[in-house]
């Protein structure tokens, strides 16, 4: 009787283990771990080891900034995602005004498609918005994903 019970318990445990669907990590999950004070290193490891569907659009990045998610974690999220939103001048200005680092803005520019206005008027708009020249240079040079 004890052997049969043990055998059934093992079968149920194995079914439960393999029957569970893989967790898909999203922005809210990363924010929840950060707010629960899980270390940044563990969060980064979890990101790298998980299936993920992050919203790395400009509104998604701004939402992460608003909850004070550290930029190194956002960088790992961005690196592990292929952004599909089309970056334009106003998006760069929004990210700059939100206080994102030059490094992260450049990473975002280089990660996905873009259509920048680098005409005289576009460059003046960026200058008035005080977008750093290093970012503007990347915008002018484009990248392999730009259209």
CA dist., res. 106 & res. 135, Å (int): 6
pTM of the full structure: 0.79
pLDDT value of position 142? 77
DSSP 114: B
The yes-or-no verdict on residue 8 having pLDDT over 70 is: no
Phi/psi region, residue 130 (left: phi>0; alpha: psi -120 to 50; beta: rest), is left
Confidence of residue 2 (pLDDT cuts 50, 70, 90): low
Residues 75/107, Cβ–Cβ less than 8 Å: yes
pLDDT, tens digit, 9 for 90 and up, residues 109-146: 999 999 999 999 999 999 999 999 999 999 999 754 43
The yes-or-no verdict on residue 5 having pLDDT over 70 is: no
CA dist., res. 120 & res. 67, Å (int): 36
pLDDT, tens digit, 9 for 90 and up, residues 50-99: 999 999 999 999 999 999 999 999 999 999 998 889 999 999 999 999 99
pLDDT value of position 147? 37
């Amino acid at each position: 009787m004890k052997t049969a019970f043990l055998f059934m318990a093992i079968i149920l445990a194995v079914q439960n283990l393999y029957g569970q669907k893989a967790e898909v990590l999203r922005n809210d999950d990363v924010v929840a771990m950060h707010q629960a004070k899980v270390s940044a290193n563990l969060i980064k490891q979890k990101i790298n080891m998980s299936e993920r569907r992050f919203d790395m659009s400009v509104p998604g990045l701004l939402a992460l900034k608003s909850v004070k998610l550290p930029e190194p974690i956002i960088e790992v999220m961005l690196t592990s995602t292929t952004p599909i939103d089309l970056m334009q001048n106003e998006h760069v200005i929004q990210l700059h005004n939100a206080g994102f680092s030059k490094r992260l803005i450049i990473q975002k520019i280089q990660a996905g498609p873009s259509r920048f206005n680098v005409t005289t008027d576009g460059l003046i708009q960026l200058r008035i918005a005080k977008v750093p020249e290093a970012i503007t240079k990347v915008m002018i040079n484009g990248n392999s994903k730009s259209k």
